[in-house]
A and B are shown apart, each in its own frame.
Chain A
Amino acid sequence: MSRREGSLDPQADSSVSLLPHLEAKIRQTHSLAHLLTKYAEQLLQEYVQHQGDPFGLPGFSPPRLPVAGLSAPAPSQAGLPLPERLRLDAAALAALPPMLDAVRRRQAELNPHAPRLLRHLEDAARQARALGAAVETVLAALGAAARGPRPEPPAAATAAGVFPAKVLGLRVCGLYRDWVSRTEGDLSQLVPGGPA
């Protein structure tokens, strides 16, 4: 991984030494992100499993439609400073829970007999919220907290039909996975001994 810019990059500035409790917090948040990355992948697989064919069939890839209030991690953001990237991570993680809740509600109608999927969707919303809060805590500890009040999370995206709802749910689960993975990668930059 290439060295990223950022004033808080511990490898970039050897004079900065993280406090033990901050280091522990970073490690803890990174571990949470790492754990949630696995969970998000499992959630995506389970979601696809319950939508019926051709979801999950090889070759079927619905277009990645834009989701109101949440964009996908853009490759162009790689050049942003690490605090900015973490702020984007936190914002995305804060926007995901209502979307995941909406997906869960829709899936409760479509798959009422899939309690594990519903529970995982519920857990994902809660975990996204927790991870976002943890990232914000790290940012605050690093003195890079978001300025101003946090914007209200966007209204949950809804779809008119069942099929668009399925596609939307798939998209939301994919975004959840992408943002959690991206957060893990960003946090790893802060972890002492992590990749530069």
Chain B
Amino acid sequence: MDIYLCSKRPSWLVDNRRMRTTSDFQWLLSAFVLLYLMNHVNSQRKETPYDLKCTTNNLQTWDCSWKAPSEAGHGTLSEFCIDNRSRSCYQLARTNIEIPALSRGDHEITIRSLQDAGSSTSKFILNEKNISLIPDTPEILNLSADFSTSTLHVKWNDKGSVYPRHSNVIWEIKILRKKSMELVKLVTHNTTLNGKDAVHHWSWVSDLPLECATHYVGIRCYVDNLLFSGHKEWSDWSPVKNVSWTPASQPKVFPQDKVILVGSDITFCCVSQEKVLSAQIGSTYCPLIHLDGENVAIKIRNISVSDSSGTNVVFMIEDNVCGTVVFAGYPPDTPQKLNCETHDLKEIICSWNPGRPTGLVGPRNTSYTLFEGFSGKYVRFKRVEVSTNESYHQLLFQMVPNQEIYNFTLYARNPLGRSQSTILVNITEKVYPHTPTSFKVKDINSTAVILSWHLPGSFAKINLLCQIEIKKINSVQELRNVTIKGVENSSYRIAVGKLNPYTVYTFRIRCSTETFWKWSKWSNKKQHLTTEAIPSKGPDTWREWSSDGKNLIIYWKSSAFRQLTKPQNKSSFREDFSRQPQLRLILWLFNHIEPKSCYVQNDLQTEQAVGMGKGILLTWHHDPNMTCDYVIKWCNSSRSEPCLMDWRKVPSNSTEALIQSDQFRPGVRYNFFLYGCRNQGYQLLRSIIGYIEELAPIVAPNFTVEDTSADSILVKWEDIPVEELRGFLRGYLFYFEKGERDTSKMRDLESGRSDIKVKNITDISQKTLRIADLQGKTSYHLVLRAYTDGGMGPEKSMFVVTKENSVGLIIAILIPVAVAVIVGVVTSILCYRKREWIKETFYPDIPNPENCKALQFQKSVCEGSGALKTLEMNPCTPNNVEVLETRSTFPKIEDTEIISPVAECPEDSSDAEPENHVVVSYCPPIIEEEIPNPAGDEAGGTSQVIYIDVQSMYQPQAKPEEEHEKDPGGGAGYKPQMHLPINATVEDIAAEDDLDKTAGYRPQANVNTWNLVSPDSPRSTDSNSEIVSFGSPCSINSRQFLIPPKDEDSPQSNGGGWSFTNFFQNKPND
């Protein structure tokens, strides 16, 4: 305060000697002057009254006080003068004075101290701005505590009557806790002063139960008067008041059975005289907060929803346990889907969904009150804690007479809050009738019945809309809506017509109001059989002649097929089916049936058709002659005649019909017959076989091999029965390949392997197949399978081995033989026709010495110049002689080769021109004495003689030794030309002519006529062999075949040991 006053003093405290200045520009100068004066005053204050201060607590009076001079003693008089319009002075024996509040503006205050030694005077300028408004210290009238809610209630008086003007007051309240008076709350509370005393209340809810610790409350105020320009200050704090709870001897936990919002914080305390050991909420232990004495507390934050019986909070004390239960839940949700309706227009049922569960049960559960606004009536919801999963609540409200509009408000409340929901309904439009009861059916006639039922309710003023369900056996249910007027007695009747006679119906009914809201539940079903009536038309009939033509079979349609067989000699008959109440039928139009109409036309061809799904579509051209109708009958083709599965009549103007039947099965062949009706009867128009759906055959065709040759197989198969074909046969697939039974790889026929040959036989009339171009003596694997449009059937296989190719073998034998014969004949003919030439060439009468090879010169000579050489008669070594002989008994020298070991002529020397005169040394032949007894063996000679026929030239396998043995005559050695042995062999008699020709001297061959033989002739390879091949007489290297005259007779022509089979063994397989 002193500081404040000091700071304020320059503004209003002025020395009496100071001249007040009003000029602003002199302000600075005045400031300096003021500082000077202040120093002067401070130096003088001890001598005059000083430090004048004024305050107010009610704005009506000012309390001013000052300090007397230091020399003034106690009881010194002072004069306090206020200089305003009328100077007023007060003689005072004290240094304070209460003066009425001065008007706005400056007021000069003069204080003169009247002392014994003299007087001292001080002057002050007093303004409202220099006044401090300090309210009186408030006093708490009452402090009370609601321990159940931990609420403190503070009551005090604002003393507003002392303030002349309207003022705002700010109250500051502090809450202190525990004996140590810890500040726990400091709040402000605003009020206004209206010139009268008023008692104010303020409440505060403690987070800590008030029982847990002593709570203190203090208050102060601040008056905020807008018209007061002075300084405003807080009042002093009031004396504190406290609330405390007297603990019992037994420990106790607070708060007890508290209901709080889920997620909130709460503090529990245990007031105990004994030490608390631990505390826990549920199974969770909590840290202890120590309060005064042994009291402790625990703080729970964000508490979760409690179980049904609440959450236990337990404090463990030595030898004791104390606790409490807290119920954490939610306030009631807004009632959802509030709906009010009535069953009987007597009572309104309002139902709603309580929404989110509150988690509170029992006495803490939500209570509901249904309030009706127009009538002011209400009902309360009485809870029945039985159903745990009750999703809807409902309340019954008795209807108010003559009131149709209801304004319902549903209030929901629980310890944590409240909510409400409203609905405005016209109850006559919200009628949900009860379920009709006592439902009965009575007959009126065969096609009408009366339905009666009981429907409780006051529906006399409204109309009811009822729905009747009529259901017939094996038929679609029918619903009929009827509107009936409501009655008071709740009994209703209605007639239902358009029923079928003698038919079992099932009825049931439900009702609503004409202003539809909800259907009632269906009544119980009532089954009823309508009474019988006269049949209106005959049954649908059909007839067939039996296969023997003696019986007529009548079919008609009812609930099931019936069949009667009527002898032909009867025109009509009657049969009573009274034992079967649902079928009473009289057939009497038999004479109208013309058997001839059933005859099948000769030119009628059976057609094929395939259906789709469960039906098959038959079409035909419109025939104006058909005046009645068309009848399509069908039957399973596998059934024995007459067969009939069903028939169908279509109008005469129809050109197609989709035949459907649950009896149709895929893969079953059905016969369809289309009959046209004309006056004289039915005529068969079309005959169709068809399948609803084609399937693959289930069996393979049974096939056999009819014939087998070396290069072909003839296969024959049988038809597949219709039942097993399961579709129209479209062809066969024939597979074959080479393979043995155990090695055939024909497994996957569909893979298109190249080694499997397939023949697709689309001509289903074909029952055989010849497979040609096969190999002989080869095993073939044959597979045959049939197929339809439904797929391929199973396969059947067989292994067949072709026969050996005997014709080829025969041909292989005959052709070489024929060729050999032809060659022999031609050779013989040629030899015969050219015998002269041959003779001249090979056996001239006078041999030409030049052609004598024996007379050729030595090789060295021959290789010399081409100059003529003279014959030199030099002795020479005899040469070997080869003689070709025929089988003639006469030794025949066909060729003679004189081999000289001394001199050999090259081969080309034989090509010497005839004109070349070659000097050839002639060496007389000397018989080589190799055989000691030439006379002992005529066949053997001293020379080696080899007989080679023509064929043997082509037979390397031939053994000359064998021939030598077979032809003893041929073994004659060298026969001297002039001394030829004569053999009288019988077999050579035929060669008589040759014998004549060869007798005597045999000239040497003419060199010019000799042909050179190719060195690569068959015999040339044997040039080193012991048996030297014969050759030209003039060349030891040349070979010449001398064909015997009778070569064709040579038995060696067949070539023993050579097989024609071998000739063909290189033939390729195929």
Interface, chain A (partner B; CB < 8 A): 50-55, 57, 60, 62-63, 107-115, 160-163, 166-167
Contacts and interface: CB of A to CB of B under 8 A. Distances in A.
A166 B257 CA distance: 12
Given A53-B312, A54-B283, 14 more contacts: A52-B282, A52-B309, A52-B310, A54-B282, A54-B314, A63-B320, A108-B362, A109-B362, A110-B309, A112-B308, A113-B361, A162-B257, A163-B257, A163-B314
Contacts of A166: 309, 312, 325
Top 6 A-B residue pairs of the complex, sorted by shortest distance between their CB atoms? A112-B385, A109-B362, A110-B309, A162-B325, A53-B283, A53-B282
Nearest to A160: B256
B78 interface: no
A62 B1008 CA distance: 157
B321 A63 contact: yes
Contact of A62 (B280, B311, B321): B321
Given A113-B385, A162-B324, A50 B309 contact: yes
A104 B324 CA distance: 19
A113 B390 CA distance: 11
B312 A112 contact: no
Given A108-B385, A112-B361, A113-B385, A162 B310 contact: yes
Given A54-B314, A63-B319, A113-B388, A161 B309 contact: no
Contact of A57 (B283, B321, B324): B283
A167 B309 CA distance: 13
Nearest to B311: A52
Nearest to A112: B385
A52 B309 CA distance: 7
Nearest to B324: A163
A161 B362 contact: no
Contacts of A57: 283
A51 B280 CA distance: 15
B323 interface: yes
Contacts of B386: 115
A64 B356 CA distance: 40
A126 to B, nearest CB: 20
B266 to A, nearest CB: 15
12 contacts: A50-B309, A52-B311, A60-B321, A63-B321, A109-B362, A112-B361, A113-B388, A162-B257, A163-B253, A163-B256, A163-B313, A166-B312
Interface in B150-190: none
Interface of B: 253, 256-257, 280, 282-283, 307-314, 319-325, 361-363, 385-386, 388
A115 B384 CA distance: 12
Nearest to A114: B308
A57 B320 CA distance: 16
A109 B327 CA distance: 13
Contacts of B321: 60, 62-63, 167
B357 to A, nearest CB: 11
Given A54-B314, A57-B283, A113 B308 contact: yes
Contacts of B307: 52
Contacts of A54: 280, 282-283, 312, 314
B325 A161 contact: yes
B982 to A, nearest CB: 152
Nearest to B253: A163
Contact of B362 (A62, A112, A167): A112
Nearest to B317: A63
Contacts of B324: 161-163
Contacts of B388: 113
Contacts of B325: 161-163, 166
Nearest to A110: B309
A54 B281 CA distance: 8
B312 A55 contact: yes
Contacts of B322: 163
Nearest to A57: B283
Contacts of A52: 282, 307, 309-312
B309 A111 contact: yes
A161 B308 contact: no
A60 B312 CA distance: 12
B415 to A, nearest CB: 13
Nearest to A113: B388
Nearest to B319: A63
A110 B365 CA distance: 11
Nearest to B256: A161
A107 B363 CA distance: 12
Given A54-B314, A161-B324, A163-B324, A109 B363 contact: yes
A180 to B, nearest CB: 25
Contacts of B362: 108-110, 112
B106 to A, nearest CB: 71
B307 to A, nearest CB: 5
Contacts of B308: 50, 110-114
A81 to B, nearest CB: 35
A163 B283 CA distance: 15
A184 to B, nearest CB: 30
A109 B309 CA distance: 8
Nearest to A118: B385
